[in-house]
Each structure stands twice: as structure tokens, then as C-alpha cells.
């Protein structure tokens, strides 16, 4: 990662506090996921993951999900995989100012988290 705002992600190795998502109250997110959203204004990323849990049947069917944001310039692709290399959902993001080439978040047990927090 080249952006200093996300340089401290490795420090998140567990979470003592969870936050309830405002749009999908069944979804929680960890301190590490909140840090990402706070530092780079990426609450939209948490929204995409949380809303897919109720709006996309192929996503909802996966108990464990790997969400990857791949940034190319000012565009991005958000992909949800099953953790075994099979993508179940992809969405083009026509504009983003996300400051690094990409990030991976996991979703399991109704919680959005950084892989290091698992």
C-alpha cells in the first residue's frame, strides 16, 4: 500500500468492538473495517457488502465471503468470492478515489472484517 492512511492495517488482529451497519442492521463490522472507512471515506464499500447480503441471492448463499476491491485509476471492480477461488458476484464501480490499488475484506457470521482480524 502506498497511502499512509492505510499503512496501519496490520495492527488490527482482533476486534473488541463491533459496529452495526446503518442500512442493513443485521450486518456488523469490526474496528479494522471501520478504520478503512474512516481513513479514506470508504463507507460506500461497507454499504456495498452489507446491501449485497440481502439483495444478491448468490452472495447471501455464501457463509464465508472474500470481497476484493481492484482499483484501476478512477474505476474499480468489486468482487465477492466464496473463499475457494470461485467468484459469485462482480460489480463495476464507475468512479472511486480509493487511494490504493485494492483491498480485501472478509464477511462471515454477519461481520465485515479485515483478514488479519479473523
pLDDT tens by residue, 49-98: 999 999 999 999 999 999 999 999 999 999 999 999 999 999 999 999 99
CB 8 within 8 A of CB 102: no
Domains and CATH numbers, the chain: 19-111 (3.10.450)
pTM (predicted TM-score) = 0.91
Cα distance between residue 3 and residue 40, in whole Å: 9
pLDDT of amino acid 15: 72
Q: Of 87, 84, 83, nearest to 106 (Cα)?
A: 83
The confidence band for 1, taking pLDDT boundaries of 50, 70 and 90, is very low
pLDDT of amino acid 17: 83
pLDDT 10s digits, 32-45: 999 999 999 999 99
Amino acid at each position: 500500500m502506498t497511502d499512509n492512511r492505510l499503512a496501519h492495517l496490520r495492527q488490527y488482529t482482533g476486534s473488541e468492538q463491533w459496529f452495526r451497519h446503518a442500512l442493513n442492521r443485521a450486518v456488523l463490522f469490526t474496528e479494522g473495517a471501520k478504520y478503512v472507512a474512516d481513513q479514506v471515506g470508504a463507507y460506500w464499500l461497507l454499504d456495498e457488502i452489507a446491501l449485497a447480503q440481502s439483495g444478491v441471492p448468490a452472495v447471501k448463499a455464501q457463509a464465508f465471503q472474500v470481497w476484493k476491491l481492484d482499483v484501476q485509476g478512477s474505476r474499480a471492480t468489486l468482487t465477492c468470492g466464496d473463499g475457494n477461488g470461485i467468484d459469485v458476484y462482480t460489480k463495476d464501480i464507475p468512479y472511486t478515489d480509493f487511494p490504493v490499488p485494492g483491498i480485501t475484506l472478509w464477511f462471515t457470521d454477519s461481520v465485515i472484517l479485515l483478514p488479519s482480524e479473523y
